[in-house]
Amino acid sequence: RTIKVPDSWKNRRIVLDIDMVQTKAKILIDRRVAGEITFPGGKLDVTDYIIPGTEQELSILVAALPLDVAGNAFMAPDRVVERSRELKFRGIAGDVYLSSEPKDNFIENVRVETSTRKNKITFNVELAAVKKSNLSVSVEISRDGQKVKEFFFDKVQINNGQVKLPGEWKDPEYWDTDTPYNLYDAVLTLHDSVSKEVLDQTLPIRFGFREFWIDGRDFYLNGSKVHLRALPIGFSAAETDIASKENSINALNKMCGYGFNFFIFTNYGFKPGDTGYLEAILEASDETGILCAFSLPHFTDYERKLDDPEIRKNYENLSRYLVRKVQNHPGVILYAMSHNALGYYGDQNPVKIDGIWEPGEDDVKPEGYFVMQRRQGAIAENIAQALDPSRPIYHHECGNFSQMHTVNIYLNWAPRQERSDWLEHWANVGVKPVFFVEWGMPHIASWSGYRGPDFIWTSPAMHKVWDSEYAAPFVGDKAYEMTPEKIALMDNEVRLWDKENIFGFWEMSYQIQALRSTYNDVQTWFMADNLRSLRTWGISAFLPWERDDFWRRITPTPARKNEARFENLEKPGFVPDFITSSESYVQDPSKDSFEPTSTGKMLKRWNMPLLAFIGGTPVFTDKTQTFTTGEEVSKQLVVLNDTRRERICRYSWEIKNHDIQGNGIINIQPGEKTLIPISFPMPSAQSDCGISVKFDFGNNDVLHDKFTLYNVKVEPNSDVKQSVACSVQ
């Protein structure tokens, strides 16, 4: 690339900044080696090689070299699988900047921290090459190019290059999930306090005025509860067109259309070669209001030796690099780490999900390993929290650890009612947020006849699919219909068994997903009750793991040339040459190439911000349906408001064909729920009757629910002399 820096850059420090390099870049200017930048990226001082006002040649020689020979993939604490190291991304995977800055007394980094509870904004400034003692900082904040606020800090206190500048701001426009357009730009200027000389000035730093915190078992955003309904997004490891800004916004809007308000990154750590361009999805999060958790390095990639000062320093350096990338993005509300490494036997146990029960060494094997792992997780958290104390940190699938209880919740074929009551103990006594980081509805592996001892997704075996057997209790005779999809699955199963050699479950699992009656409809039956129950118990966050089961492709998404492939080539961000398809509805660029499955339709019923249904008493999950004539029928109308504003709900209910009805109006604050008791005597009827309810929230947000009641006759002279045991699914 031919470059020519302006004459005004004379007597300034000139740096080349590569945002993400996989994994090594040699920098040459006029064919002279100026230095190297290695993973994950950073700045190189090229001042001695640049001649301002003169055309020069900048060349970058990239090499993709694995930095370790093998890596361990953690599926669970007791399931560690060795994998060879491959580099998915190679070369330059981010933006490249050539910039100038003062040689002395310049601003290295700014983290903007805002508090809605204190009406306060704090500029955490890192200065470099400080040679002057009397320094002042002025801040100009603008929105859409118009100045809205100014601060001036005279003779600032500098502590090892760190400057903390707090200011009061009583009337900012809050950034929130429903007001993502409230974004500000801050420009900081460093002055000599005596001469008033301008020493340095930052480029505009975009931020949103918002605050996210944990109080007890709940998350709060800007003063009201927020419950997170999550999906995993693979844009950190996606191809250029999928990870582009346009497609990132498209994907997050699709998520929103099905009620999701939060996503996690699918890179469970930050190893060389595993991640690509990140800025587009981060900006899309800010601009759509879809919240996210950002993954930090995994301590296992550092040989579990973070107590070694040198290794700890390396971990801290990479964490600092990543934190600086995301620290001013309001959409990033959490950091994630220690994925699948700190959990223990029984972390799914409902009476141990409360943030109170602490696991002991006797709960896992081998002895001592568990304690060592969790000590490493604590060190990693302390490092990240010191870099950015404004964001909570969660450890992915680690049970009760630090600030949350997080768990992969795969309950196999536990009864639906038990699943719906799984969080009752937590709701009554829990002291920490609970995050179902992988929630099986049930999980697709439950349809296999394989039950260990090895991990099904990495262990070849003589696998057998038992879809009919497992589905029959829920869908009846439909479980045995020989559909074309079932026949194809059985033919493939016979073919695999005829080889008389073990094979991976993944060689059949994709065909299970095509089974509508015995797979989709079973998931739908469970979700119809479980999802609304989890939300009513107040679950802090959940992520349904079989996210691709919500939609099926109905038409191909043809690859096409990007009509704007020659536009904005000299601006930050990727410009893909081609637009291609994705197997995922969310990540696919098309909006109409997929349709929801029965599971997806049920998801849309129970995953949206407003939720309302007919519940039971004394616990809302009770489903008593049989009553005798004149017996008191007691139910509850359950209403949840997970929007970000107070809502008014006008409700009306009736027993059709009977003069029994009621209505009312309630106000519900954001993140809260209301349980409305209703009762009436069971009417006499020759046929069954039911309750019908309409919930009207205004703005065309109307929900309906029905509940069937059965009138049971009591025989006065029963011949039954002994107790009768009944089992109900």
* Amino acid at residue number 74: F
Question: In whole angstroms, what is the distance from residue 541 CA to residue 537 CA?
Answer: 11
Q: In this structure, what token pair is assigned to residue 716?
A: 């006065």
pLDDT value at 720 more than 90: no
Lowest mean pLDDT among 200-204, 279-283, 546-550: 546-550
Per-residue pLDDT, averaged over 594-616, amounts to 97
Q: In this structure, what token pair is assigned to residue 292?
A: 């996210």
Lowest mean pLDDT among 209-223, 254-268, 355-369, 425-439: 355-369
pLDDT value at 75 more than 60: no
Per-residue pLDDT, averaged over 693-698, amounts to 98
DSSP string, 494-535: HHHHHTTS-B-THHHHHHHTT-IIIIIHHHHHHHHHHHHHHH
DSSP string, 633-670: EEEEEEEEE-SSS-EEEEEEEEETTTTEEEEEEEEE-T
pLDDT per residue as tens digits for the range 549-601: 999 999 999 999 999 888 888 888 888 889 999 999 999 999 899 999 999 99
Question: What's the Cα-to-Cα distance from 203 to each of 125, 189, 360, 519, rounded to whole Å?
Answer: 14, 10, 51, 53
Which residue did the predictor score with more confidence, 718 or 455?
A: 455
Q: What is the pLDDT of residue 573?
A: 87
- H helices present in 302-444, as ranges: 309-326, 369-387, 416-420, 424-429
Q: What does DSSP assign to residue 547?
A: G
Q: What is the pLDDT of residue 115?
A: 99
Q: What is the pLDDT of residue 85?
A: 60
Question: In whole angstroms, what is the distance from residue 599 CA to residue 123 CA?
Answer: 46
Give the pLDDT band of residue 365 (cuts 50, 70, 90): low
Which residue did the predictor score with more confidence, 369 or 115?
A: 115
Question: What's the Cα-to-Cα distance from 69 to each of 65, 80, 88, 513, rounded to whole Å?
Answer: 10, 16, 15, 35
Q: What is the pLDDT of residue 686?
A: 67
Identify which of 255, 250, 262, 259 has the alpha carbon closest to the alpha carbon of residue 591.
250
pLDDT value at 74 more than 80: no
Per-residue pLDDT, averaged over 308-318, amounts to 95
Q: In this structure, what token pair is assigned to residue 413?
A: 């074929």
Antiparallel, parallel or unpaired: β 120-128 and 106-115: antiparallel
Question: In whole angstroms, what is the distance from residue 633 CA to residue 625 CA?
Answer: 9
pLDDT per residue as tens digits for the range 243-300: 899 999 999 999 999 999 999 999 999 999 888 899 999 999 999 999 999 999 999 9
pLDDT value at 396 more than 90: yes
Q: What is the pLDDT of residue 656?
A: 84
pLDDT value at 400 more than 70: yes
Cβ distance 303 to 345 under 8 Å? Answer: no
Round the average pLDDT of the chain to a whole number and report it: 93
Lowest mean pLDDT among 72-81, 164-173, 227-236, 312-321: 72-81
Which residue did the predictor score with more confidence, 453 or 637?
A: 637
Lowest mean pLDDT among 239-253, 365-379, 502-516, 640-654: 365-379
Q: What is the pLDDT of residue 88?
A: 84
pLDDT per residue as tens digits for the range 508-535: 999 999 999 999 999 999 999 999 999 9
pLDDT per residue as tens digits for the range 101-137: 999 999 999 999 999 999 999 999 999 999 998 999 9
Domains and CATH numbers, the chain: 2-100 (2.60.120.260), 102-207 (2.60.40.10), 213-451+520-606 (3.20.20.80), 610-711 (2.60.40.10)
Cβ distance 620 to 634 under 8 Å? Answer: no
pLDDT value at 362 more than 80: no
Per-residue pLDDT, averaged over 360-377, amounts to 75
Antiparallel, parallel or unpaired: β 198-201 and 184-192: antiparallel
pLDDT per residue as tens digits for the range 466-497: 999 999 999 999 999 999 999 999 999 999 99
Percentage of residues of the chain with pLDDT beyond 90: 83
Q: What is the pLDDT of residue 68?
A: 55
Q: What is the pLDDT of residue 366?
A: 47
DSSP string, 456-504: TTT--B---B-HHHHHHHHHGGGGG---HHHHHHHHHHHHHHHTTS-B-
3-state secondary structure of 342: coil
Q: What is the pLDDT of residue 726?
A: 61
